[in-house]
Amino acid sequence: MATEWQMPPSTGQCAAGDRAFEPGDAFRAYLFATPGGYERRDYCLACAPPAGEAPIASWKARHAAPSAPRRRALDVETVYALFEGLAADGPPQQRQLRFVLALLLWRRRVLKLTDTVQEGEQEHWRFAAPSRGDLHVVERPPLAEEEIERLSAQLESLISGQVPIDAVISDASGVANA
Ligand SMILES: [Zn+2]
């Protein structure tokens, strides 16, 4: 799975193998943390990842028509909903995802970096969401700059091209084998 990070955003079929998506079909995309980085799998609404494989996040979307021009733009509402749904004190993989999502939002000027705070070994980045009046304190994960860059690019390609329905994170906090 180490090279999966270059896979296309959607395979067009349920990862459980029971059906191919038709244009307009709703599905849920699940994001997993793997040794190679993030991996995404889409399941139809009747299926879910096997128990024991806990996703770090998920979102609902619709399958686009194959003839439609591919929408590569990142939907900031989806990203913001994912970001907001992740607890600041969640498991390490979720805290890492939270930081990477904050970077994506910062680059799109949804978030504004106000300052960074060093507390012992831990660095926190503080972001404001001016249009929403929100403030977020985000833990910087203990990763090298280029690793963060790689995860960020990977995540962006996994999330972009979505036609989100609810843009809601549903189970990001239920990582402990629900
Ligand atoms: Zn299915």
Give the integer Cα–Cα distance in Å for 112 and 131. 10
Task: Tell how far the Cα of 159 is from the centroid of ligand 1, in angstroms.
Answer: 20
Q: Does the predicted TM-score (pTM) go above 0.85?
A: no
Task: Tell how far the Cα of 49 is from the centroid of ligand 1, in angstroms.
Answer: 10
> Looking at the predicted structure, is the pLDDT value of residue 178 above 80?
no
Helix (H) or strand (E) holding 127: strand 122-129
pLDDT tens digits, 29-41: 999 998 888 999 9
Roughly how many angstroms between the first and final C-alpha of the chain, as a whole number?
24
Task: Tell how far the Cα of 100 is from the centroid of ligand 1, in angstroms.
Answer: 29
Higher local confidence (pLDDT), 75 or 151: 151
How wide is the angle at C-alpha 67 spanned by C-alphas 73 and 27, nearest 5°? 65
pLDDT of amino acid 137: 96
pLDDT tens digits, 24-71: 889 999 999 988 889 999 999 999 999 888 899 988 888 876 655 555
> Looking at the predicted structure, is the pLDDT value of residue 174 above 70?
no
Task: Tell how far the Cα of 137 is from the centroid of ligand 1, in angstroms.
Answer: 37
Work out the burial of residue 18: count CB atoms within 10 Å of its CB; fewer than 13 is exposed, 13-18 middle, 19 or more buried: exposed
Task: Tell how far the Cα of 156 is from the centroid of ligand 1, in angstroms.
Answer: 25
The letter for the amino acid at 139 is: E
pLDDT of amino acid 5: 37
Highest mean pLDDT among 26-30, 73-77, 171-175: 26-30
Task: Tell how far the Cα of 27 is from the centroid of ligand 1, in angstroms.
Answer: 9
> Looking at the predicted structure, is the pLDDT value of residue 157 above 70?
yes
Task: Tell how far the Cα of 69 is from the centroid of ligand 1, in angstroms.
Answer: 25
Mean pLDDT, the chain, rounded, equals: 81
Task: Tell how far the Cα of 158 is from the centroid of ligand 1, in angstroms.
Answer: 19
pLDDT tens digits, 77-118: 888 988 998 989 988 999 999 999 999 999 989 999 999 999
Confidence of residue 128 (pLDDT cuts 50, 70, 90): very high
Mean pLDDT of 120-129: 94
